[in-house]
Amino acid sequence: MNFKKLLDERKIEIVEKEDFSAEVSLRDLDSAENSFQSEDYDWSVNIAYAAVLKVCIKFMQHLGYRAIGREHHKNVFDFMMETGFDKELVSYFDEIRKIRNRFMYGFLEKNDKDHAEETILKAKDFVQKIGTFVQKNRTGEKK
């Protein structure tokens, strides 16, 4: 994993390494499911995205980095693309980032039941896979 370009572009900075934990993201996934059950599909997508963002931030901190700048969320996903982690899932949630941005800043975009369900399932997969990815890197297994 080489983050020189992101460091040079001031998208990330080096910080003290922290232990990895997905605990907060797992709680967010429960909240996303609760919102889904209440048929609040917009918020369930938003919360599922938050779970993924938080697990990415914890992963970054585990490696000794954090995203900086105005485009903090975008920079997190740029970082994730450089890690070798599941590029398909990273790309999916980078698209969700854009949808969430429009939703949060007033350009309402309705999320339907199918999209919300897909996003929650992919978020669960993301959080589970990142935990496995961290564990493999800790033990020196090949990715």
pLDDT in tens, 50-92: 999 999 999 999 999 999 999 999 999 999 999 989 999 999 9
Q: How far apart are CA 55 and CA 65, in angstroms?
A: 13
Residue 106 has which token pair?
């007033």
Domain boundaries, the chain: 4-134
What pTM did the predictor assign?
0.91
The first and second tokens of residue 7, run together, are 């460091």
Mean pLDDT over each residue of the chain, to the nearest integer = 92
Confidence of residue 20 (pLDDT cuts 50, 70, 90): very high
From CA 46, how far away is CA 9, in angstroms rounded? 28
- Say which CATH architecture domain 4-134 belongs to: Up-down Bundle (1.20)
How far apart are the C-alpha atoms of 84 and 66, rounded to whole Å? 17
